[in-house]
Structure 1
């Protein structure tokens, strides 16, 4: 399977995005200054870094939507180095300021994504980690980022709380990232709900329910119910 999205799927994709964004914002808005200084599942990043990343990536994705709608180039970032510097600077804001910055960036992105309903001039746009992607897949890609990093915050939120459609889309986003990464092992990914995906030569079979597959594909986390043959394959970082 591949992540195939169209104007017809846009309304439901935006509804899912709003649900997951709202849940993540509820968590983030509850954090104190002391709590945002704590480490996350992203090595070297505090919660402040991660929230800053979510806010900046929302604006970067809005740039890509503008590019697609107008046909005028608007890259997500000038460079990876600039992206990292911006995250570091923004992460120094207070918990209240970070939550507000993310809330505003999410609103700008949602408004931009809604303009896709009017049609686009450029069907694909370039991304840092997944190569060229279909612009109508951007809502699902943002939802993936939101649920992955919601988990990375290390609060009480758990994978099973994500919308099932968001989880399936996230698995497909992860598969596409792995397909684009030169260091990815061959994978044959089998969801017990019925779907199958292949990365490379498909030499390693990984089987499980959605809720076990996604943590593995994102963080290499092996939960109960995940099955594989031989050693667990090492995946490139998210």
Structure 2
């Protein structure tokens, strides 16, 4: 198998996250993010530890030795908290270092290993080629969460559309697809009774749980939708 089609999206996503990070001063790390309950430090700690967790999956694909993303949920949470507690300059450096480790793992993976089966933290078996898309979701959405002037309008439309596809797939797996049909330009998702329409960035923000539907239109108001991830 050749390398994943999402490699360019992933590289662009890492750059966009780096742009958001670079706009923040060290003193601004302590402020809230756009993700309820998480400050910017927690977002940064999560993104760093996620990179290392995905390195584990690529090591699994390369060696055939089962290497879970995280030893346990508690270990995941501790790792995020420990990173988030670092002095700002060290936290910034850790995010960049972890991103570099993931880049090395991606570019060093033999072509045949991309078809190896690995398992996500949610227990879903996927080919290793899905790892770059898993990272795309993290870096694009959390770049917005950092509230540093990056929004979904800064994300390529095809990436946003893929995110919305992902949301509906996740809902379908959990049998939680809401009774909506969503329109953004000439794109359409869902087959429900409630029509929601608006610009693609507004749709992406709403369906990924980052907004309450600002900028969208629907008869009877914007409905509540299930969580994505």
Q: TM-score range by the shorter chain?
A: 0.7 to 0.9
Q: Which runs of 5+ in 2 are unaligned?
A: none
Supply the distance in 2 between the matched residues of 1:176 and 1:234 (Cα, whole angstroms).
14
Supply the distance in 2 between the matched residues of 1:227 and 1:117 (Cα, whole angstroms).
47
Supply the distance in 2 between the matched residues of 1:206 and 1:124 (Cα, whole angstroms).
37
* Residue from 13, 31, 34 that aligns with 1:20: 13
Cα deviation, 1:13-52, whole Å, max 9, x if unaligned, reads 2222222212211321342332100111222211011100
Does residue 104 of the first structure (1) align with residue 94 of the second (2)? no
Which residue of structure 1 aligns with residue 42 of structure 2? 49
Cα deviation, 1:145-195, whole Å, max 9, x if unaligned, reads 11111111112112111122322222223233333346553544444333x
Supply the distance in 2 between the matched residues of 1:187 and 1:59 (Cα, whole angstroms).
37
For residue 125 of structure 1, give the secondary structure of its aligned residue in structure 2: strand
For residue 178 of structure 2, give the secondary structure of its aligned residue in structure 1: coil
Which residue of structure 2 aligns with residue 7 of structure 1? 2
Measured after TM superposition, the shift of residue 202 of structure 1 is: 4.5
Instruction: Please report the TM-score for the alignment, with normalisation by the length of structure 1.
Output: 0.82
* Residue from 202, 214, 220 that aligns with 1:212: 202
Cα deviation, 1:48-82, whole Å, max 9, x if unaligned, reads 11100000000101111121232210100111121
Distance 1:182 1:95, change over 3 A: farther
Q: Which runs of 5+ in 1 are unaligned?
A: 1-5
CA contact 2:57–2:68 (8 Å) conserved in 1: yes
Structural mapping, 1:1-238, within 5 Å? 7=2, 9-10=4-5, 13-116=6-109, 118-120=111-113, 123-129=116-122, 131-181=124-174, 185-194=178-187, 196-198=188-190, 202=192, 204-219=194-209, 220-224=211-215, 226-230=216-220, 232-236=223-227, 238=229
For residue 118 of structure 2, give the secondary structure of its aligned residue in structure 1: strand
Measured after TM superposition, the shift of residue 9 of structure 1 is: 4.5
Which residue of structure 2 aligns with residue 3 of structure 1? none
Give the RMSD, CA atoms, in angstroms.
2.6
Supply the distance in 2 between the matched residues of 1:203 and 1:80 (Cα, whole angstroms).
38
Supply the distance in 2 between the matched residues of 1:64 and 1:187 (Cα, whole angstroms).
35
Supply the distance in 2 between the matched residues of 1:147 and 1:181 (Cα, whole angstroms).
23
Runs of 4+ in 1 over 6 A off after TM superposition: none
Supply the distance in 1 between the matched residues of 2:194 and 2:73 (Cα, whole angstroms).
31
CA contact 2:115–2:129 (8 Å) conserved in 1: no
